[in-house]
Amino acid sequence: MIHDLLIVGGGINGAAIAREAALNGLSVLLVEKDDLAAATSSASTKLIHGGLRYLEYYDFKLVREALIERERLLKAAPHLIHPLRFVLPHEHAIRPWWMVRLGLILYDHLAGRISLPRSRGLRAGDALYRAPLKDGRRGFVYSDARVDDSRLVILNARDAADHGATILTRIALIAAVRDGAVWRATLSDGRTATARAIVNAAGPWVAPVNAQIGVASRAGARLIKGSHIIVHQLFAGDHAYILQQPDRRIVFAIPYLDGLTLVGTTDVPVDRAEDACIDAVEVAYLLDAINRHFTRRTGRQDIVATYSGIRSLYDDGASEARQVTRDYVLELDDGGNADAPPLLSIFGGKITTGRRLAEDALAKLAPRLGITPAKVTRNRPLPGGEIADFDTFVAGAIARWPFLGAARARRMAGAYGVLLATLLDGVTDESGLGEDFGHGLTACEVAWLADREWARTAEDILWRRTRIGLSAPAGMAERLTAFLAARGR
Ligand SMILES: Cc1cc2nc3c(=O)[nH]c(=O)nc-3n(C[C@H](O)[C@H](O)[C@H](O)COP(=O)(O)OP(=O)(O)OC[C@H]3O[C@@H](n4cnc5c(N)ncnc54)[C@H](O)[C@@H]3O)c2cc1C
């Protein structure tokens, strides 16, 4: 079989391109060498945002497009993506009041018509926002949104597969050669695949994959590591903080799961995609960043977990890591022959702009594939996303499946949206959920994750399909492994 597209990499960009292409009727094969979202797309700050700080680099186009996507995503996946209020404490020595105010007005303006509350100054009634801060007299409040990043990737892959795409995990592309009008690719399981075009969406591995294919990129990929620490809850409330630092960077402190705060990120140039590991300097930087602002002192003993991811940014010659454009660049190669099968390499991008990038990728390939792509995903819900109001949906789920309990019903409603009814089809009481592995994760849900969401290992389930890994009791991973083995997957 000749595929229209062979996509290398199952992060947000690969999965979104697979969805866009499949919905446009193309035959798609996506190969992912590890698990879906195993790399950068599960290691982000988990924000659906325009990127307030990019305004300082005059990246207005990036910010505007991301803000438009923010609004679209809030509608497409209201179970998975939720509004989040940010408090920005004023730091005159770092940025004057007028500059921040102007930036926030511009941020609201670039977003156009939005469903989220607009920015404002901190008010007398904002005691909850001020309480944890050392010097909380002045500041701002503005809106963005949060997401479970790896689940967003899964939903894109699911929609792609539901429209005919083949998604193969734990299979790498190891070589590809042009043969007339097609690519002939070799996969790590010994299979070969034939495709009219290849999309290299390998994220931090974009350059090594191009080298495997024998194509030299015009520009380099600049690899920049960003790390997070997860600490015991720093403050009460559902809002987050964006904290200005003396080096003019910003660090986020975001409420995370039950009783935790996510703190990040750093910007550290690295040489290899495999270098995604936090170092002692980054830990100290992030601890300093929060200790400068919050009255509660946080130390290494408060760190529950850490993670790091690597951005692969288009090397546009900027000198500092934080100044390299976060906008994506799509590079098309045809080996100098307009009739040769094309290779499209993806640099940069954001979780927020994956859908938009996919549209652009398809538009770029369209003349080569002889298609006129339609904007099929602009107003399309992601799987499970046909929900008007999330809280009402959760209340309905608690009433319909009382045996789940409120906390589990909320977690599962957030993960599966309206597909929860399919997942729980025929289950009328607790016993119908099957073996309980801990933290409300039962055989019924694990079977869904294995059958519908490409979960193969306990790690896939604990860290990327759910976030239960952070609090998994001893032995849970082993029990899951045994269960998956017994199912023969
Ligand atoms: C610290 C940090 C914080 C961030 N925060 C945010 C945020 O809050 N909001 C936001 O919108 N964006 C954020 N981003 C940006 C966003 O996370 C990335 O732009 C995005 O995840 C990149 O996705 P990707 O698909 O290009 O790469 P990846 O997610 O890395 O996917 C590439 C995939 O390719 C696979 N692969 C590699 N080689 C092969 C091969 N030979 N064969 C098959 N598969 C292969 C890999 O295993 C990997 O899964 C952040 C980034 C970082 C680093």
**Distance (Å, whole) CA 219 – CA 120:** 41
| Token code pair at residue 257 | 């799961």
12 CA → ligand 1 middle, Å? 7
Residues 22-37: pLDDT tens digits?
999 999 999 999 999 9
Higher pLDDT, 422 or 321: 422
98 CA → ligand 1 middle, Å? 35
Residue 316, pLDDT > 70, answer no
In the chain, domain spans: 2-40+150-220+325-369, 58-146+222-316, 390-486
What is the pLDDT at residue 315? 81
**Distance (Å, whole) CA 157 – CA 167:** 7
Ligand 1 atom nearest the C-alpha of 172 is: 42
What is the pLDDT at residue 402? 98
Phi first, then psi: give them for residue 444, nearest 5 degrees: -60, -45
**Distance (Å, whole) CA 181 – CA 199:** 15
Assigned CATH topology for domain 390-486:
Helicase, Ruva Protein; domain 3 (1.10.8)
Task: Give the confidence band of 135 by pLDDT, cuts at 50, 70, 90.
Answer: confident
Instruction: Identify which of 350, 286, 377, 344 has the alpha carbon closest to the alpha carbon of residue 59.
Output: 350
DSSP three-state, residue 48 = strand
Ligand 1 atom nearest the C-alpha of 31 is: 43
274 CA → ligand 1 middle, Å? 13
Residue 323, pLDDT > 70, answer no
CB of 228 within 8 A of CB of 185?
no
Ligand 1 atom nearest the C-alpha of 15 is: 25
Q: Cβ < 6 Å from ligand 1: which residues?
A: 8-14, 31-34, 38-41, 43-47, 49, 172-173, 201-205, 209, 226, 265, 309-311, 346, 349-352
Instruction: Identify which of 19, 53, 324, 66 has the alpha carbon closest to the alpha carbon of residue 201.
Output: 19
Give the pLDDT mean for 404-428.
Answer: 97
| Probe target for ligand 1 pocket from 350, 352, 460, with the most ligand atoms within 8 Å of CB | 350
223 CA → ligand 1 middle, Å? 11
CB of 202 within 8 A of CB of 330?
no
Residues 425-481: pLDDT tens digits?
999 999 999 999 999 999 999 999 999 999 999 999 999 999 999 989 899 999 999
Give the pLDDT mean for 101-114.
Answer: 93
200 CA → ligand 1 middle, Å? 12
* Residues with Cβ within 8 Å of residue 92, at least 6 apart in sequence: none
426 CA → ligand 1 middle, Å? 37
Residues 272-301: pLDDT tens digits?
999 899 999 999 999 999 999 999 999 999
Residues 238-278: pLDDT tens digits?
999 999 999 999 999 999 998 999 999 999 999 999 989 99
Minimal-distance CA residue to ligand 1 atom 4:
44
| Token code pair at residue 168 | 């193969």
Ligand 1 atom nearest the C-alpha of 328 is: 19
What is the pLDDT at residue 124? 84
Residues 350-379: pLDDT tens digits?
999 999 999 999 999 999 999 999 999 999
Task: Give the confidence band of 335 by pLDDT, cuts at 50, 70, 90.
Answer: confident
What is the pLDDT at residue 488? 79
Own/partner contacts of 449-455, CB < 8 Å, gap of 24 or more, are 450/484, 450/487, 450/489, 452/158, 453/154, 453/158, 454/35, 454/36, 454/154, 454/157, 454/167, 454/169, 455/35, 455/484
Buried b (16+ CB within 10 A) or exposed e, 100-119: bbebbebbbebbeeeebeeb
Domain 2-40+150-220+325-369 is found in CATH 3.50.50.60: yes
Query: What proportion of the chain, given as a percentage, has pLDDT over 70?
Result: 97
Task: Give the confidence band of 314 by pLDDT, cuts at 50, 70, 90.
Answer: confident
19: left (phi over 0), alpha (psi -120 to 50) or beta: alpha
Residue 322, pLDDT > 60, answer no
Residue 409, pLDDT > 70, answer yes
Give the pLDDT mean for 103-114.
Answer: 93
Ligand 1 atom nearest the C-alpha of 46 is: 8
350 CA → ligand 1 middle, Å? 8
Q: What is the DSSP pairing of strand 166-169 with strand 139-147? A: unpaired
What is the pLDDT at residue 215? 86
DSSP three-state, residue 376 = coil
**Distance (Å, whole) CA 353 – CA 365:** 18
Hunting for tokens 């050669």 — which residue is that?
Answer: 177
Under CATH, to which class is 58-146+222-316 assigned?
alpha beta
Q: DSSP letter at 340? A: S
Minimal-distance CA residue to ligand 1 atom 15:
350
97 CA → ligand 1 middle, Å? 35
Instruction: Identify which of 326, 12, 366, 9 has the alpha carbon closest to the alpha carbon of residue 199.
Output: 9
350: left (phi over 0), alpha (psi -120 to 50) or beta: beta
Answer whether 2-40+150-220+325-369 and 58-146+222-316 agree in fold: no
pTM, to two decimals: 0.97
What is the pLDDT at residue 101? 95
Give the pLDDT mean for 136-158.
Answer: 95
Phi first, then psi: give them for residue 38, nearest 5 degrees: -70, -25
Residues 158-176: pLDDT tens digits?
999 999 999 999 999 999 9
Q: DSSP letter at 341? A: P
Q: DSSP letter at 331? A: E
Ligand 1 atom nearest the C-alpha of 204 is: 30
254 class by beta-carbon count within 10 Å (0-12 exposed, 13-18 middle, 19+ buried): buried
| Probe target for ligand 1 pocket from 13, 33, 44, 151, with the most ligand atoms within 8 Å of CB | 44
Residues 34-76: pLDDT tens digits?
999 999 999 999 999 999 988 988 889 999 999 999 999 999 9
| Token code pair at residue 187 | 């996969």
Separation of CA 162 from chain center: 21
- Please count the CA atoms within 13 angstroms of the CA of 334 that sit on its side-chain side: 15
Minimal-distance CA residue to ligand 1 atom 1:
226
